[in-house]
Amino acid sequence: MQTELISLSKAFTENLYRIPDYQRGYAWGLKQLKDFWNDIAQLPDRHNHYTGVLTLEAAPKSATATWEDDLWIIEAKNYQPHFVVDGQQRLTTAIILIQVILEATQNGETLNFDTKEEIQKRYIYLTKDGGISRSYIFGYEKDNPSYEYLITHIFQEQSDRHSTVEETIYTKNLSFAKEYFQEKIKDYSAIEREKLYTKITQNLLFNVFTIREDVDVFVTFETMNNRGKPLSNLELLKNRLIYLSTKFIPNQDGEHSHDRTKLRRTINECWKSAYHYLGKNKARVLDDNFFLLVQFLMYFNVALPRTEHAQANNSLGLYKYKQEEGYKEYLLDEFFTARRVTDASIENPLSVDAIYAYAKDIKDTVKVYHEIFNPEDSKLSGQEKMHLERIGRLRNYDVILLLTAMYKKKPPQAQRISFLEQLERMLFFRTIRSYHFHNIDLEEDGVLFIAGKKTFAEIVKSVSDCTEEFIKSKDFKESIANLGKGGGYYGWAAIRYFMFEYEQYLKSQTKTNRDKLSWEDFRKENFKSDYVSVEHIYPQRAAHASWNGAFSKYKIPQRNILKNSIGNLVPLSIPKNSSLGNRPFVDKKGSREQKVGYSYGCYSEIEVSHEDEWTPHHILARGLRLLNFMEDRWKVDFGTDRNKTDLLGLGFLDPTRKLKLPKK
């Protein structure tokens, strides 16, 4: 290990850096970028900042022999090729920032007396034939999707490949980092850019450590990358499987020689596919650890030993592996271990075929998993997409394993649609009284189904029977009535989901197919702004005199029930000033002059705006209308309007006064 600290400029003197295939991609997000930027921005001129250890592995000739674009710079210019074992996040970030500075620098300007071309040659690429062929000083191995993305999207250079650039979670992070730095320096003067460039290249100091040939680089990687932003379990597992692929030693007949090369390539391809699908929807990047848990439970748990408690309760004991990442311990400490490859005396050795099959299952499962969360990106039927979108809005993660299992085994479409409808219905009623459904274990059902130990028809029946049992129980209407107490429907976990479904119903009754309420916006609640997505029509703080007349005859507890009753709540399609929430009803409705208010909102708001006034009986009438919708949408029967009035807790209103209600 070098005892002196060296700058980025010295580190990039006649050195070539590659991120090896066992490494994760670029994982830094906003927090890490802020920390990196603050370290530089707060660094006084001509002061140094210790950036950490840069751990390298000298790239062997067997590896560099395939680096066709780089052989000339290694052989003719004596550049030293390295794999980056630790420090790639900091190194990548520094290079992205240098690229951003270069793009902001005008032709003819210099940075520390170096031209843009000279800086580019030191940190970005060298060319031997006027730019036709290029050797990139820093980058990824060519079979990594980030290789092409770094060249074309970050360095803004032409690629010699004709394939479409593949995007993953990691490429998304690369793009975000570049955009972050572009925003930071957009107003910088030439002098400020030069100072920033000096700090990055001269004042960020590294200890450089090169791993000896007798040190196992894979184990070193696992150990070192537990610092900083920890590796995810999926990233650790990829490194472990590549490590194991190197442990299959060819025998005299050459057995395993070809297999282990193919295995390493397969692992890389399968993980490339995993990160492609996990990051495909940029608006909702999927968590890789949760994906690995789902895949693990389906792939392994049917064969795992049961705990005593699980045996006594005829259960698979899934929680042993879910709690505190027990699945990670099983994968890395028990199943995918070097001993199961190298110890000839072990009873159940690990084969090339076993690792190959597992990697292929990762690839097969992740596509299905992605489509569960993003049904619009699938080739499923319209009905299935609709039901999956509804289930997704209820955000119940215990259903993901079962849904993934279902779409991996693909029972007939009619059965799938029937089940999705029953499942959504159960999940909806579970938000009203979760305790009633505690005997349904959807994750265990998924494991049993994928193992062939429980039929799909049995699962459908158990979900349907449990829901019907709840609806017919005395607890059902009591639970509905309880929603109107205390904080009322405003505190109901599914209030946004219910309101959104009613909005979709109103849309279906119009001649247009235009959405006026976005689920992604509606479900968010930003407490730092004045935006509320569900509003009380009769305000929580009804200070204006206009509210006194119709409501003043009722006691405070009764007025509180009215405020939080479901008929008094309306979804808002766009941010509205919170001060409007306490205004008179005529102001809330809006006007042609202001172009603000319910009249210019979503279908639910427009429906409310058709009323001339807003009184307790209007709240009751709308509440009955919404309960009628609930009856039709989720196939229940609340009885007469009198029964429904009591369920709403509004029995104290004058029953002789009737407002016109729409027919069911």
What are the mean pLDDT values of the chain's consecutive 10-residue runs (664 residues total)? Answer: 78 93 89 94 90 88 88 92 90 97 93 92 88 86 86 86 73 96 95 95 90 61 58 90 85 57 89 93 91 94 61 65 85 92 88 94 97 95 96 94 96 96 97 89 92 93 95 92 83 94 95 88 62 85 87 92 94 69 86 79 94 94 96 96 93 69 49
CA–CA distance, 2 with 157 (Å, rounded to integer): 34
CB 449 within 8 A of CB 402: yes
CA–CA distance, 217 with 83 (Å, rounded to integer): 10
CA–CA distance, 419 with 461 (Å, rounded to integer): 9
The confidence score (pLDDT) of residue 118 equals: 94
- Tell me the angle at which helices 400-409 and 413-430 cross, rounded to the nearest 10 degrees: 180
The confidence score (pLDDT) of residue 12 equals: 95
The confidence score (pLDDT) of residue 582 equals: 79
* Alpha carbon distances (Å) from 208 to 12, 16, 52, 642: 12, 14, 9, 79
CA–CA distance, 130 with 121 (Å, rounded to integer): 12
Beta strands 134-136; 138-140: pairing state = unpaired
Number of other CB atoms surrounding residue 416 within 10 Å: 22
Q: Which residues pair with 16 in a beta bridge?
A: 81
378 phi and psi angles, rounded to 5 deg? -120, 175
The confidence score (pLDDT) of residue 131 equals: 66
CB 95 within 8 A of CB 15: no
Number of other CB atoms surrounding residue 590 within 10 Å: 20
Beta strands 534-536; 80-86: pairing state = unpaired
CA–CA distance, 564 with 540 (Å, rounded to integer): 8
Q: Is 131 exposed, middle or buried (0-12, 13-18, 19+ CB in 10 A)?
A: exposed
Residue 80 in tokens: 């030293």
The confidence score (pLDDT) of residue 1 equals: 46
CA–CA distance, 78 with 16 (Å, rounded to integer): 10
Torsional sign, CA 217, 219, 223, 225: positive
Residue 477 in tokens: 């209407």
DSSP reduced 3-state for 334? helix
* Residue in 207, 218, 237, 238 with CA at minimum distance from that of residue 83: 218
CB 618 within 8 A of CB 562: no
* Residue in 637, 633, 626, 649 with CA at minimum distance from that of residue 481: 649
Q: Which residues pair with 535 in a beta bridge?
A: 570
CB 501 within 8 A of CB 566: no
132 phi and psi angles, rounded to 5 deg? -70, -50
> How many Å from the N-terminal Cα to the C-terminal Cα in the chain?
79
The confidence score (pLDDT) of residue 221 equals: 58
CB 624 within 8 A of CB 661: yes
Residue type, 54: L
CB 346 within 8 A of CB 340: yes
DSSP reduced 3-state for 411? coil
Residue type, 481: A
* Predicted model pTM: 0.80
CA–CA distance, 384 with 412 (Å, rounded to integer): 12
For the chain, give the number of residues.
664
CA–CA distance, 571 with 496 (Å, rounded to integer): 8
* Residue in 297, 332, 362, 100 with CA at minimum distance from that of residue 222: 332
CA–CA distance, 364 with 366 (Å, rounded to integer): 6
Residue type, 264: R
